[in-house]
Structure 1
Amino acid sequence: MKALVKEKAAPGLSLVEVPEPEAGPGDVLIKVLRTGICGTDLHIRAWDGWAQQAVSAPLVVGHEFSGEVVSVGRDVAGIEVGDLVSGEGHLVCGKCRNCLAGRRHLCRATVGLGVGRDGCFAEYVVLPASNVWVHRNPVDLDIAAIFDPFGNAVHTALSFPLVGEDVLITGAGPIGLMAAAVAKHAGARNVAITDVSEARLDLARKVGADLALDVSSASIADGQRLLGLREGFDVGLEMSGNPAAMRDMLANMTHGGRIAMLGLPSQEFAVDWARVVTSMITIKGIYGREMFETWYAMSVLLEGGLDLAPVITGRYPAAEFEAAFADAASGHGGKVVMDWTA
């Protein structure tokens, strides 16, 4: 089968022929239909410092996909040939304290699909049945392919009650855009989102943000005034991993404000902890999705009319992966999807 592979410890990826993966008794073999490009994939392609520490070549990359079940192992129940599925990309041990308590998203032994084991940028992928999400209701193939990052957005956005709240999102990348759509759909009064890319800020307006603020020319304090806020934002969703964004968010939260932080900084940075203490601000770190409560919430949100179509701005045949990756790395658009049937 054809697969997109990190063949050696150097920048770049190659579309090459590799053996089709074999499914065990508890596994599901899936024909891949669509895949989404993630920031993790960009790191692996660039072979930066993180990738050099996290990845061993050769490796089939990718962890965002939608596909059709073509076979199931003898021990698998509840999944049928022909089902449209997506996959949870965090494979957990099932034996640690958190796994046994049903908190699988907190497993310390998590292995990432397309990072610690062969991934889904291929014609076929194998997953344990426990990591397969069956779409019981109709869903667009492209949207189904981005359930993994959509789950990051949902997990982050729904960490705190949103009804009637004023929400600040720093970073209008694809997950920030999805979080803005979720926050507005979930009943936030005002949703403000910041970035320095006008193209991405325009996408934010299309998904329902009340204020899309270019912080290269205006401050978050200016945004507060534009929205008529008197005491600051109630809920913050930090999606950028940018130290300045986090500091600005803290400076513009109301007393007792709550921040969910998904953006991953590249290095340590200083925080005004005195403000955190005296303003009694709660900061919660987010990594991945709650298995599978977040997935259930995603499906329900889509059934309830949440529209993620504007977030997908690039569609390419898998054979044109170089163009697809260049688009994803540009920093100007939303999600980029590759079609493995073209």
Structure 2
Amino acid sequence: MKKLACRLLLILFVFVNAHAMAQQGYAISGTIKDENNQPVKGATIFISGSQKITSANDAGEFTFYTILPGYYNLSVKMLGYLPYSQNIEIKDKPADLHISLKVKTNQLKEVVIGKSKSKDLFMRVFKQQFLGATENGQACVLLNPGAVNFSTKKEFLMADADEFLVVENKNLGYKIRYMLKSFWYNAATDRTDYSGDALFEEMPGTEKMKQKWAKKRLEAYNGSLVHFLRAVYTNTVLKEGFLVYKTYPKPAKNANDNLVYIDPRPVKFDSLFNVVDTAFLTFKAIPLLVRYDPKQAAKIVDRKELFSLKGVTMTGKSTLISFPGNETAIDRKGVFKDYEGMSITGDWGMSRLGDKVPLEYQPPK
């Protein structure tokens, strides 16, 4: 009996200790070396989309402390080397990384056709498509525009940068360093795609400015993809103002219309959940139409209705979103595990850097 009691106490101790460790967080550490296995000192390491940054010491070593369980994208930037990114899952133990940087040899050469006004045009297009055409995007200032390299190919405008692009968002009060990996804009289709990693820093300001920033940050957060994924995680989608519907292929007889076909019964996420632990959950990956409309969401009454297929228009803050595979996972920060496989069109697809807030952002309660 004593042995059984001791064993139960040991199990309880291990469980409590593991839970306490998870609440305190774990370390992400590692060593950065070049292709000759020599340490790369002074490299900048940061967690993409956050305010967390450090640098490698003389031995190429670095450490982030108190990282809570979740999904993270760790990025490394060093002049003369290709940018490096790695997805990391922190669950119940620290992460120890061994990173090898490759020398950057094939740099994108700047190609400007015609007079200098061509580059001015390229820059205007780049700023609008990269920072955004919203009020927040227009309030952003690119402090080092000369760092952007442009090239063109038929209807495509392409860009990259050898150093961090530095942006001041005067509406949200963030200074952003962005490691641009690729950018292209198709003038024929007015479509843009870019990739990179952002590091956020609080801008200094007066109390009045901080109050303005707080208001604007909340406006940017409300209805965003991160807001939605956090609401999914807490199973408060309707409460947070989101109307979510399962979408279906367009009927053959309606092939030429511009409607999206849905089940008009709002999705109940608790029927899709598989809770992994307190930091992660998985849910069935189904194609969705998401609308942010708090007033309409507050009117929804839970009642049993039969399935019907309904064609609707994409109005207001509406987004079509689909996930890779049969199941997908998110963490409590609202970070999606396989975000690169997501397909997003509509409101969220038009969101740009100027409307982003860091992972650390929490709305006032």
- TM-score (norm. length: structure 2): 0.28
- Greater strand share, 1 or 2? 2
Larger radius of gyration: 2
Bigger RCO of structures 1 and 2 (CA < 8 A, at least 6 apart): 1
